Amino acid sequence: MTAAASSLSDTLYKKLEAQILAGKLAPGARLPSQKDVAETENVSRTVVREAVARLAAQGLVVSRQGSGVYVAETAQYKPFQVTRDELAELADVIKLLEMRLALETEMAGLAAARRTTADIGAIREALFAMESAFDDPMVAARADSDFHLAIARATQNHYYERLIEFLGVRLVPPRNMYLRDESEDAHRAYAAKVRAEHEDLVDAIIRMDVPRARDAARHHMQESLSRHSQLSAIALLRPGAQSGD
């Protein structure tokens, strides 16, 4: 498909998606034929096929052999997603951290109230793995996400577990994102600070101190948010930042 056709297909996809989500094309309704859509929108059938294929991939429409294409019964339910591409920009990382601030504060409180001995073992194991992976920021980030997943499991609420498992490493931007130009001493100082924040949180959960666990989680997330916000401010001051370079 040419670039022009791809652009037309994207426009048509967004138009049909908006009509479906707004209920103008109701669940169970049959879409007009590809021929009719092509004529109405003044595009080729190839453009229509591509747009419909994207709708099907998103679960918004279903094809019925010999009958046509229909709006899916669950079409107006749009699942929550955070894609890797969405977190390529620092501003989007900051938005995710803002969401985590509330999420992890309450999650820590529930973990402190409900944790088991096995949960404590899993949390400590993840914390040890994080400290052992200092030399590899990406491995450390995965261990960090495992740490938060272990806390989610300690809530005994599988919805927390599923959400944290879904977010995975998106939860923890690797430190080389914001320390890429810094010395090894700066990396070690950062790792030590984060370790102290984590250890305070773990201690509160072990002691089943709900208010302190909430405070420790909130402090940890606020510190992370502050670090990324400062980096964002510095980036805007760099030459060429206003032009998008």
Pair (52, 100) in one structural domain: no
Owner of token pair 């009719």: 36
- Supply 150's token pair: 């272990």
For residue 44, the enclosing domain spans: 3-71
**How do residues 75-87 score in pLDDT, each as one tens digit?**
766 666 666 555 5
Total domain count for the chain? Answer: 2
Beta bridge partners of 68: 64
The CATH number covering residue 10 comes to 1.10.10.10
Higher pLDDT, 90 or 148: 148
Q: pTM of the predicted model, to two decimals?
A: 0.61
Q: Is residue 152 part of a domain?
A: yes
Pair (56, 155) in one structural domain: no
Q: What is the mean pLDDT of residues 106-123?
A: 97
Q: Is residue 222 part of a domain?
A: yes
DSSP 7-62: HHHHHHHHHHHHHHHTTSS-TTPBPPPHHHHHHHHT--HHHHHHHHHHHHHTTSEE
Phi, psi (5° rounding) for residue 78?
-110, 110
Pair (150, 200) in one structural domain: yes
Q: Is residue 118 part of a domain?
A: yes
Higher pLDDT, 182 or 71: 71
Pair (230, 125) in one structural domain: yes
Q: Is residue 80 part of a domain?
A: no
